[in-house]
Structure 1
Amino acid sequence: MTQPLFLVICALLFLLLVHIFIIIYLFWRQFSQRIDTDINAQQYLVVYASQTGQAEAWAKHTAEQLKIIHEEKVELLDIQQLNQQHLQQPSTILWVVSTYGEGDAPDTAQNFVHKILNQSLDLSYLSFAVLAFGDKRYSNFCQFGQRIEQWLLQHNAQALFPTVLVDQLNSDDLEQWLIGLEQLTSTTFTSIALDKEMLAFKFAHRQCLNTGTVGEAIYKVQLIADRNISWSSGDILEIQCENDITEIQHFLDTQRQEHSDDLVAKLGRLNLRKLPARTGLSLLEWIAQFEVLPKREYSIASLPEQGLVELVVRQQKTETGLGLGSGWLTVGLEQNQPVHASIRNNPSFHLQQDDKPIILIGNGTGIAGLVAHLRQREHWGYKKNWLIFGERQQQFDHLYQTEIAYWQQHGYLPHVDYAFSRDQTEKIYVQDRLRQQSSRLQEWIAQGALIYVCGSLKGMASGVDQVLEELLGTEQLQQLKREQRYLRDVY
């Protein structure tokens, strides 16, 4: 090989090596940038704790918008799936949680409360924001959301913006959550569609179920929809409260106004029990400042196949008379008068369509949710059902006695245990009956039974929970909750 040829070959090899080095460098630089980007990218974890589905809906909406707008790494997580590993990596956690009853965490959050919330962890690398749902009619408003906030701050997590407390899905409260997210991400967030489809019903029938009772009157109220609608046993009817005509007429008389149809219509859904100051305002200007009457929720006792919506309503007494919802439904409504309402899906209290045994526990108007489940089980042909129900006196408060006797006679309700608290000197409640039947409870749970509790939170539901923990143990009770075999619709 001649020397010039050798030199040419060496030069070409050198150029090839330089070219390969440049390619490798460019690949390395691109890979390094990708790694840095992945490390520095904002990691969003949206955690929800929901009892009725509202917090879950807002969590999903938040996560979807984060994914669509920024294509960030976003994970949506039910709080019962949250573990310490999720909290031990740098991220931003958006908590969307509801408070149930008198300051309690939702049933799905019980494992988190017992196993994580009481621990001392280093959370200094976490950023967070909390959207807390609640109801100011209950004490300890939004307590679970505030408890999470306090725990995070105590363990050095960084708040992105103040915790948002939401009273009964108030739109102004929810707007604060959207504003916080917009400031955080520098983009526009849209509100979730809160308005459910309002359906028109006609008032068809009502009947007092406990005439002669020492307590408040309980009514069966039946409504007929203007078209075919569907729902599942366990679902809720959200009724828009309205004023009855006598209340409107009394208001107009007090204001010395004529009873025009237009004015009566304007006042139909406005709160006439809580009037703002009128200083210097005309009647129409004053009316424009009135609050809209709230909605009230009632468990549906019927099935779609029956062609009507059946409710069980206990009259509530207030300083200004009967309650807004109970007074209107049990007294104010007239035959064929329209009722505006929507069906709320309540998956946390739905039946499973299988023949596993179920234990139905409740009191008072909670009979509505239990009756709906028994009607559905009869429709499916499943007969292993056990009812434990409580009220005051058998003579007056034996709600749905005819239907329960029918199910007993036809094999759909082989076991019924009543707790009529005032029929003996020592008061007896459903939790006492449950304790007396501890052997059957253990046997049914071993067979895969599901427990459904419907009725009052104070006294009944809390007492049942305590007895279940006493008889089954804390771990087994928590397992039933995780497996969605212990479901509650209490208030």
Structure 2
Amino acid sequence: MQLQATNSPFTQEQAELLNQLLPTLTESQKVWLSGFLAASQAAPSASGETPQAVPAAAPAAQPVSKEITILYGSQTGNAQGIADSSSKTLKENGYEVTVSSMSDFKPNQLKKLKNLLIVVSTHGEGDPPDNAISFHEFVHGKRAPKLEGLRFSVLSLGDSSYEFFCQTGKEFDNVLEDLGGTRLTPRVDCDLDYDEPAAEWLSNVVEALNGKQEEETGGVSPAGVPAASGESQFSRTNPFQAEVLENINLNGRGSNKETRHIEISLEGSNLSYEPGDSLGIYPENDSVLVDMLLDELKWNAEEIVTVNKKGDVAPLKQALITNFEITVLTKPLLQHAAQFTENEKLHELLSAGHEEELKNYLSGRDLLDLVQDFGPWAVSPQDFVSMLRKMPARLYSIASSLEANPDEVHLTIGALRYESFGRNRNGVCSILCAERLEPGHTLPVYIQHNQNFKLPENGETPIIMVGPGTGVAPFRAFMQEREERGAEGKSWMFFGDQHFVTDFLYQTEWQKWLGRGVLTKMDVAFSRDSEEKVYVQHRMLEQSKEFFQWLEEGAILYICGDEKNMAHDVHETLIGIIEKEGSMTREQAEDYVARMQQEKRYQRDVY
């Protein structure tokens, strides 16, 4: 409706100006303007008199704060990627956004926030990631403030094959409510395939912030999920088909292990990375396992099925090889599957009071076990694949420097083979690389940036690296990078494996770096070369005095490898060394380590 001098109290000139202005205003600007005009009518005049109020159609809403803080807790970089790209989308929607790691955020600022978005992963058995620990402790502690004026929303990342799925996100969501905060939107818990739910969460957040429906705002672009690398068009959702250049076994003849060194070309991708980042690979399932599954279900391998929400289709066998995860069981999968069988054992397994039995069943079994154990099945191929998770990418620590190897990325991958419940099992990606990947083949890949595992900007800062087995990978990248930069800071490597003769990964390279002074010191532990097993933490203890001296000089400590055993033992050893050499109590030593983490002087890439 157009204003005219004849249908309003305005002059023709005023009406024309208003007709030009009003269509350009957003809904929030109109609300603010109506509130401003109402307030100006109610305010005393310069003479001290109060003007008569003009009739208002409705009370004006309070203006929505345009300031948003996004805090992320991230171990591998996924949560940080979502936080960064969410910030970009929110800024495009007119908001002022601050993004921060939880470890960098000052907790006393929390009570000043109006809008808070939490993006956090769950690590290990329900634990916060390293850079979320201090903030997690604060909000659950006695010093946490009341947050009645806070609006918040939580995006939680996890893996439903773990018992404590998205536990950290659930805890943040609950405690912020307990402190008085109000949810902007409900928490969203994401499995490994987080792209679509993360985009939907962000869309709902923007709707809630704007106070209107998505169709009025024009929606939120799917770019709300993280792009994997700056200017490149290739990402987690659009991987690059990278050619394999080399694939060699690093272990010597007679070794109990098989560790592949794989060199991959990134030429033409415009992908870039830094030491400490990871490469994501989308693998394929073994066709032999897929054939066994199809034989058990007596299905036609060529039957066409829909493989995603976009409506893409593929023959059933190819879909099971390429599109879906079939080697890991989760509780949600069993709950879906129970709809298609009357097998009493499965329904009993999922009933209350059988949690421990269910946990034991899920461990070490795959989709073929499920099909064999709980038939007969009344399910179509389409319904069957619809309940499966999308094939998740496998992340591997990059073992090269882009400065030293332009247009290439190197990986160090241990082949996983084991026997479980009477059947031989294989790691999906590691055995693809070990047995079926040749030079000239291609792999769908993307870069996973990880700002939580990075070399110091100052090349004079000393570093200590602890990386047994394939945990050596990022430290090979560190050494290549420091050599290219001409870094002069001291460096100390702790490496361990089973046998010196067959399992000393990249031995000649370490020796050359020692000879050239790029690497200052190296200690090795080969557990099977002596009667009593020796591990990297034992070498740390043997060098405890010098180790602590390096820490006192400001050295950054890096740990890479198995979390459950190695990383736990190294962490305990670290506390013991600080306690002994620093003449501290256990509590003081733990505080020392906590400060190291806060200062980014204790960084872990564990799995």
1:109 pairs with 2:121: no
| 2:559–2:567 contact (8 Å) kept in structure 1 | yes
| 2:73–2:120 contact (8 Å) kept in structure 1 | yes
1:451 pairs with 2:557: yes
- 1:173-206 per-residue CA deviation (whole Å, 9 max, x = no partner) reads 3255235425523243333244641222222332
Equivalent in the alignment of 1:18 = none
Alpha carbons of structure 1 residues 337 and 155: separation in structure 2 relative to 1, 3 Å: same
1:348 pairs with 2:452: yes
| 1:110–1:478 contact (8 Å) kept in structure 2 | no
Q: Structure 1-normalised TM-score?
A: 0.80
SS at match of 2:548: helix
| 1:97–1:145 contact (8 Å) kept in structure 2 | yes
The structure 1 residue matched to 2:251, chosen from 206, 210, 228, is 210
Alpha carbons of structure 1 residues 265 and 441: separation in structure 2 relative to 1, 3 Å: same
The structure 2 residue matched to 1:479, chosen from 595, 602, 607, is 595
- 1:224-268 per-residue CA deviation (whole Å, 9 max, x = no partner) reads 344375422222111111246766788899866689xx9687665
Q: Partners of 1:252 and 1:40 in 2: how far apart?
A: 56
- 1:360-406 per-residue CA deviation (whole Å, 9 max, x = no partner) reads 11111111111111121222233521101122232332211121122
Alpha carbons of structure 1 residues 87 and 203: separation in structure 2 relative to 1, 3 Å: closer
1:362 pairs with 2:473: no
Equivalent in the alignment of 1:302 = 400
Letter of the 1:293 counterpart: M
SS at match of 1:374: helix
Q: 236-245 or 289-298, which moves further after superposition? A: 289-298
The structure 1 residue matched to 2:75, chosen from 48, 51, 64, is 51
The structure 1 residue matched to 2:525, chosen from 410, 419, 429, is 419
Q: Partners of 1:287 and 1:97 in 2: how far apart?
A: 29
Alpha carbons of structure 1 residues 212 and 137: separation in structure 2 relative to 1, 3 Å: farther
Alpha carbons of structure 1 residues 134 and 341: separation in structure 2 relative to 1, 3 Å: same
SS at match of 1:388: strand
Equivalent in the alignment of 2:12 = none
Alpha carbons of structure 1 residues 290 and 453: separation in structure 2 relative to 1, 3 Å: closer
Report how far residue 284 of structure 1 moved: 9.0
The structure 2 residue matched to 1:269, chosen from 314, 322, 332, is 322
- Within-5 A mapping of 1:320-359: 321-353=425-457, 354-359=459-464
Alpha carbons of structure 1 residues 290 and 336: separation in structure 2 relative to 1, 3 Å: farther
Letter of the 1:109 counterpart: A
SS at match of 2:603: strand
Q: Partners of 1:468 and 1:272 in 2: how far apart?
A: 38
Q: Partners of 1:49 and 1:28 in 2: how far apart?
A: 53
Q: Structure 2-normalised TM-score?
A: 0.66
Letter of the 2:592 counterpart: Q
Q: Partners of 1:171 and 1:230 in 2: how far apart?
A: 21
Equivalent in the alignment of 2:541 = 435
Equivalent in the alignment of 1:374 = 479
Q: 268-277 or 150-159, which moves further after superposition? A: 268-277
- 1:268-316 per-residue CA deviation (whole Å, 9 max, x = no partner) reads 52348458999786x8998788764321111121233335332111122
Q: Partners of 2:504 and 2:548 in 1: how far apart?
A: 28
Alpha carbons of structure 1 residues 339 and 61: separation in structure 2 relative to 1, 3 Å: closer
Alpha carbons of structure 1 residues 278 and 227: separation in structure 2 relative to 1, 3 Å: farther
Q: Partners of 1:450 and 1:48 in 2: how far apart?
A: 22
Q: Partners of 1:24 and 1:469 in 2: how far apart?
A: 72
Report how far residue 335 of structure 1 moved: 3.6
Q: Partners of 2:301 and 2:517 in 1: how far apart?
A: 61
Letter of the 1:239 counterpart: I
SS at match of 1:145: helix
Letter of the 1:315 counterpart: A
SS at match of 2:413: strand
| 1:393–1:420 contact (8 Å) kept in structure 2 | yes
1:87 pairs with 2:110: yes
SS at match of 2:433: helix
| 1:278–1:286 contact (8 Å) kept in structure 2 | no
1:237 pairs with 2:268: no
| 2:467–2:560 contact (8 Å) kept in structure 1 | yes
| 2:245–2:263 contact (8 Å) kept in structure 1 | yes
The structure 2 residue matched to 1:314, chosen from 401, 405, 414, is 414
| 2:462–2:556 contact (8 Å) kept in structure 1 | yes
Q: CA RMSD in A?
A: 3.8
Equivalent in the alignment of 1:136 = 160
Q: Partners of 1:94 and 1:356 in 2: how far apart?
A: 34
Q: Partners of 1:288 and 1:90 in 2: how far apart?
A: 42
Alpha carbons of structure 1 residues 315 and 162: separation in structure 2 relative to 1, 3 Å: same
Report how far residue 160 of structure 1 moved: 4.1
| 1:269–1:292 contact (8 Å) kept in structure 2 | no
Alpha carbons of structure 1 residues 118 and 470: separation in structure 2 relative to 1, 3 Å: farther
Letter of the 1:143 counterpart: Q
> Alignment identity in percent?
28
SS at match of 1:219: strand
Report how far residue 76 of structure 1 moved: 3.5
Q: Partners of 1:270 and 1:169 in 2: how far apart?
A: 12
Report how far residue 351 of structure 1 moved: 1.6
Alpha carbons of structure 1 residues 140 and 278: separation in structure 2 relative to 1, 3 Å: closer
| 1:59–1:96 contact (8 Å) kept in structure 2 | yes
| 1:129–1:159 contact (8 Å) kept in structure 2 | yes
Equivalent in the alignment of 2:495 = 389
| 1:178–1:190 contact (8 Å) kept in structure 2 | no
Q: Partners of 2:65 and 2:440 in 1: how far apart?
A: 60
Q: Partners of 1:118 and 1:291 in 2: how far apart?
A: 37
Equivalent in the alignment of 1:221 = 262
Q: Partners of 2:104 and 2:49 in 1: how far apart?
A: 42
Alpha carbons of structure 1 residues 407 and 46: separation in structure 2 relative to 1, 3 Å: closer
What count of residue pairs does the alignment treat as equivalent? 462
| 1:201–1:339 contact (8 Å) kept in structure 2 | yes
Equivalent in the alignment of 2:505 = 399
Q: Partners of 2:277 and 2:591 in 1: how far apart?
A: 29
The structure 1 residue matched to 2:572, chosen from 460, 463, 466, is 466
- In structure 1, the gaps of 5 or more residues are 1-20, 30-35
- Within-5 A mapping of 1:160-239: 160-178=184-202, 180-182=204-206, 184-185=208-209, 186-188=212-214, 189-191=220-222, 192-194=224-226, 196=228, 197=234, 198-211=239-252, 215-227=256-268, 230-239=272-281
Q: Partners of 2:188 and 2:302 in 1: how far apart?
A: 44
